[in-house]
Amino acid sequence: MGIGLRHFIYNVDSDTLNRIPNSKFDKLFKNDPSVSLKEYANKTIKYVTVIIENVNRKPVKIIDIQYGILKIDSNGRIDTNFKTELDYDIMAIMSSMLPSIDKPANVIDAPHDFAKDKYKNKYTWTPTPELEERIKSIIFPKIKFNERKLSEIIIEIAKIGFRKKEYEESELMHLLMFLAHVAWNRDTMDSNYMTGSQLLEKIADFPGSKRQKKRKLISTDIEEIISLMLKYKRKHYPDDSRKIILIEYTPWETLRVEWKN
């Protein structure tokens, strides 16, 4: 087992993903004069880095997908001022994680969050769900919808319930995964699957205050969220007719989904 990387340049104008070799990508960041991206000279480009778990040199799992921004100079290399600022802001994040002398080592204060937010706003971008799925299909071109783990798909659908990607680590994810399963079964099992008081009783035990839900979720109306999830399912997985018979969050912090045809 090992960790691998795949790098792509996303051309916004043509809506295409162009693979860039790892060695070329590394040399670009090291300002190696033998490497340049002349076709992107004087442009700000978007790139994608996919972190993959490999077994026998074959990808078996996507660990993370990172979306970054680079400013390219007239020579097709990373702009010097941009690179200096990037390195400085990365160091700022690392420095903010160091404990202060007058507080416990396990406390990270506001400067850390500020540095992270600054980096995110300045050097990253957010893809559409369609583009993210296209990236996954490039990594796993032979995988059909019905061959994907249903737990992975439910997590994917659950994420559309958040206002921002940064909220996906919230405890509200448990609630949204449950709602995603409801939306899924309303399409594959029964349009009236778990409605009214039955639904309200089920979601009452999930963690998350009203304030958190109002701030982090796309709506405080549960049925509206389910409706959006249902539309997403029908658009992206119209032929997947599996019926969920069990969904639970395990002690190992993984989602377990059992289904039948």
Asked if pLDDT for residue 145 goes beyond 60, the answer is no
| Geometric angle at alpha carbon 219, from 216 and 224, rounded to 5° | 145
Mean pLDDT computed over 159-171:
91
Q: What is the pLDDT of residues 43-83, one digit of tens each?
A: 999 999 999 988 877 888 899 999 999 999 999 999 999 99
Of 25-29, 45-49, 91-95, 202-206, give the lowest mean pLDDT range: 91-95
Mean pLDDT computed over 252-261:
84
What's the predicted TM-score (pTM) here? 0.51
Asked if pLDDT for residue 11 goes beyond 50, the answer is yes
Mean pLDDT computed over 81-98:
84
